């Protein structure tokens, strides 16, 4: 059975190109998702801090961080047990 490269170099080139494009697209989407999440986090924190007094801002930022950490999905084996 001949390999793909010796059978048809154009087919091999297309397969490599499609694979490279898919990898690049996946990486770009992951990057843009991370950037968007960070923008949303910054905006939520800015809005929360904007309506608070200066002496309470640290507590507001800490509360925002705790809420966002609690909202993150956890891996299946590491979930906290539900309290009764």
In the predicted structure, residue 5 carries a pLDDT above the cut 60: no
Chain segment 36-82, per-residue pLDDT in tens: 999 998 898 888 888 888 888 889 889 888 888 887 777 666 656 66
The model carries a pTM of 0.61
68 contacts 41 by C-beta, under 8 angstroms: yes
CA distance 68 to 44: 10
Cα distances (angstroms) measured from residue 16 to each of 20, 55, 61? 6, 58, 47
């Amino acid at each position: 059975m001949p390999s793909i490269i010796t059978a048809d170099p154009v087919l091999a080139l297309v397969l490599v190109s499609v694979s490279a494009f898919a990898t690049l697209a996946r990486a770009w989407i992951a990057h843009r998702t991370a950037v968007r999440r960070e923008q949303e986090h910054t905006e939520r924190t800015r809005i929360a801090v904007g309506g608070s007094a200066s002496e309470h801002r640290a507590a507001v930022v800490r509360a925002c961080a705790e809420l966002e950490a609690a909202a993150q999905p956890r891996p299946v084996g590491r979930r906290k047990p539900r309290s009764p």
